[in-house]
Structure formats: C-alpha cells, structure tokens
Amino acid sequence: MTMLQASVDNAAALGMTMPQAQLDNSKLGFGGNNGVRRKRSSDRYSGVLAKLWSRHLQEKEHSMGRRSKSEEVKPGPNAPMVGTIIKRLRLQRDISIRDVAEGSGLSPSFLSAVERGESDISIGRLARIAEFFDHDVGSLPGYSTRLAKPNFLTKRDRPLVNRGKGVRYEVFWLPGLSLELVTISLAPRAAFRDELTHEGIDTLLVISGEIILRANGIDYPMQAGDCTVYSAAYSHGMRNDSLKPATAIGMTTAKMM
C-alpha cells in the first residue's frame, strides 16, 4: 500500500491524470500482459490506485474549499455598491444598459452582471463608466466610503471669510470632495472688498434679491433664481446695488483655503 500511495502522490506531483497514472504503473512492475496472474495483479493494482486517486481528488477539493473560504475578501460594511449606483444613475437618466455599453465600450452582459453584484469591476472600466455619466472615478462610487452615513460639518469646517463690510461669506469644506460650498449675504449697497482669482470653476445661484456679478471686467445683473457657471481663473466679484439684502449660494471646484 505504501508503494501505491507513493504512486498516487508522485502522479499528483507530476500533474498526471488518473489514466496517465494507470499507464505508468508498468514502471513499478505491475504492468504487462505476461500471464493471467500478472494480469490479475495489474487489475487489482489499478482498482486500488483508482480508489486512492479518487480519495486524493476529494481531499484536494476539500482543502481548496477551506482555503477559498478563509481567503475570501468580503466587502466592508461601508463599501459602496458600484452596481447599484450605476443602475440608479442609468434609471435616473432613463437609459438602457445597451446605451451605457455603447457609450463606455463595455459589453451589456458585463454591465448587467456588475449591476446584479455578480461581477467585480476594475478601476479602468469604472473610469469609462464614470466618464459616460460625467463623473470622475472618485465621485461615481458615492464620493467616499466615509459618506456612507451623514457627516455633519463642525464650525471648524465652515469658516467665515472677511470679504468686506456688509458681506457675510461662509465657506463649507465638504469632506471627501474637491469642492467648496459658499453662502453669500450682501447687505444693501454692499460689495466685495477685492475681486477674486483662483483655480477651478465657480457656480453661483441667487436665492433672493439682486446681485451684480462682475467677471473679467464685465457686469452681469442677476436676480433670484438666476444661476451661472464661469471660470474662476478670471477676476470676479459681487455687489448689491439695490436697497434690499441679497443672498446667494456658490460652489467652486477648487480648494481656496
């Protein structure tokens, strides 16, 4: 039995299949067709070898199963569900998986598997999907795994900046984002003390009253409900020429502080 077990172990180590191991038994002196006794011995050997081989495969499969379970990497409780996010974006825009596939260069079957959570996705492929939805890779999976639950800003995260007399300018540092939110209040006849210039793109939405946006030397009157987007690389500022207070909300894609 020791020689038989050694034969199985050697065959497994050499990557041999069961038929190959049986054919190779002639090396141990059990093969050949010279005589009935030799034939019966060979048959008995092959039968025992088959049982040992079967046991070897079962033990190997069991061992691999234990290893795969122990090595399995499960997503953390705050891990973003990329497939769910992609499906939500797709349904919000009323587009099909085939539309996303054509726009991103990925197959519909692969995208369907990702949405069902049956397939993982690489950063490269995720970047192509993010570009299709006008996102970047960081913003697509929910901006940050730290935002799986509400993250309330402290006073330290929303400093007041002195922009001049009669101007209340509060900056909100948004965690995990390359964005800054700004609330602006202008008293009657108030104006920014200095014009600003910085990197990024600014968005301005007037909430109440009237505001004059001065961008690159040109005045742009804005009323409540007006919204504009402009490059912050050009000098810009705001003022309120009216006799009523005015408020606005701004967003910039660059960190100014």
pLDDT score at 25: 46
* Token pair 């800003």: residue: 153
- pLDDT exceeds cutoff 60 at 213: yes
- pLDDT exceeds cutoff 50 at 14: no
- pLDDT exceeds cutoff 60 at 78: no
Residue 240's pLDDT band (cuts 50, 70, 90): very high
Query: What is the Cα–Cα distance from 233 to 81, expressed in whole angstroms?
Result: 36
Report the 10 Å Cβ neighbour count for 217: 9
pLDDT score at 23: 44
Q: Is the dihedral of CA 36, 39, 43, 44 positive or negative?
A: positive
Query: What is the Cα–Cα distance from 241 to 191, expressed in whole angstroms?
Result: 8
Of 142 and 198, more confident: 198
pLDDT tens for residues 79-137? Answer: 567 888 888 888 878 889 999 999 999 999 999 988 888 888 888 888 888 888 877 67
Which of 169, 166, 184, 168 has its CA nearest to residue 243?
A: 166
Of 105 and 17, more confident: 105
Cα 33 to chain centroid distance, Å, stands at 65
pLDDT score at 235: 95
pLDDT score at 256: 60
Report whether 52 contacts 3 (CB < 8 A): no
pLDDT tens for residues 140-174? Answer: 665 444 555 777 888 888 999 999 999 999 999 88
